[in-house]
Amino acid sequence: MILRASLVSCDELILLRPIQLDPALIGQTLPCDLYSESGVLLAGAGMLLTDTAQFQRLATRPLYQQAAPGDDSIRPLQRLQDIAAHTAKLLAGPEAGLSEEELRLLAGAFVALYRIDPNACLGYPRVAPVAPPWFNHSLLTLFISVLLADQLEFSEAQIESLAAAALTMNISDIALHERIHDGLLASSDWTQLRRHPTDTANLLQRIGVTDMDWLLSVQQHHENMDGSGFPANLTGAQISLAARILRVADVYCSRTSARSYRPPKASRLAFKTLFGTEGTQIDMQIASLLLRRIGLLPPGTLVRLANRETACIIGLGRNGHVLFAISFLDARGNAIKSPRERNLASHAYAIRYPVDADPVWPKINWPMLWGY
């Protein structure tokens, strides 16, 4: 990530990487300088955070700190693309090429990337898929699952097992899930679909997976709270908490992810389904937690602003309330050379409505929107 900062000359470049403020800093001094996405210095190292209000004014916007040259954490999107491509190829290959050790390492690598920049991990694959559709969906499900597991105070070991389950939940029949993406699911596929959780759990056991949290999450990720799911028609507490998290994340990502026949859907429509027709099927407490945490305008949401610019939400809001977006098309639909941070609280930049990506748009440098 290379950004120009206001405190240096216009010819000098500094490297920035995302940072999240810890509430424990209230009453303490800042350990480093804090910048906006555009490289503007927001608060200097040594500044005293006197109270909660001052902390929140900073924490509700995307923040960055200066990174040391050569710091590999400044390239998480490239690493995400590289690891995703390798993982998709591995999972689509022969069963003999799979091992419990490598799958766990890959799940841990994705969790580590999420820790570096959760906003980019949640948003970038929505607008610029990093892998084949079947795996891009699993990856988004993994990141949403980690977000929820963090809120429910899972241990790191539990989070790694859940991430591994999201990564592998559909690998027994990738061709089936490719047909789902293409909208080509035939009536004869339903028997196969109902069988795939068990088939996948059995496959994982054959390659040496003994982690019951991982296996149960895969086995139960299509079970419903009202007993209408499969393969065992479990109800309520019979379904593990991790599997209930995975179920909510899987359904949410299915509703918001692009298909070959349609662009990504708005988060608002996904939650309308979650709290409507599927309200008896999923864990509503987990769905409510997701709504509070990610809101109706999650990272990767595209919006039209009051000044007719097109912008992308690039960060999680506080309690679902988003304050900033990055404009990438001007009012005439031309690409903005240097995407601009917009304060959505300003009347001039208020959100008018969500939009879908349009094939007629000029080529968009999506990584730049997240500062990379």
Q: What residues have CB less than 8 Å from 345, skipping those under 6 apart?
A: 323
Partnered with residue 3 across adjacent β-strands are 14
Tokens standing for 283? 């864990």
SS3 content of the chain, % helix, strand, coil (to 5): 45, 15, 40
Buried b / exposed e over 309-325, threshold 16 CB at 10 Å, is bbbbbbbbbeebebebb
Sorted by where each starts, the structural domains of the chain and their CATH numbers stand as 2-71 (no CATH), 75-294 (1.10.3210.10), 302-369 (no CATH)
Instruction: Say how many C-beta atoms besides its own lie within 10 A of residue 334's C-beta.
Output: 10
Beta-carbon contacts of 136 under 8 Å, excluding residues fewer than 6 positions away, are 84, 125, 129, 130, 257
Structure letter (DSSP) for residue 341: E
Q: 355, 302 in Cβ contact below 8 A?
A: yes
Residue 270 β-bridge partners: none
- 3 state SS of 68: coil
Tens-level pLDDT at each residue, the chain (372 residues): 333 333 333 334 456 777 777 777 888 888 888 888 667 888 988 899 888 888 888 877 778 887 665 555 557 899 999 999 999 999 999 999 999 999 999 999 999 999 888 999 999 999 999 999 999 999 999 999 999 999 999 999 999 999 999 999 999 999 888 888 877 777 788 888 899 999 999 999 999 999 999 999 999 999 999 999 999 999 999 999 999 999 999 999 998 887 766 666 788 888 988 898 888 899 999 999 999 999 999 999 999 999 999 999 998 877 667 888 999 999 999 999 888 989 999 999 999 999 988 989 999 999 989 888
C-alpha distance from residue 244 to each of 109, 248, 263, 270, 274 (Å): 23, 6, 27, 17, 13
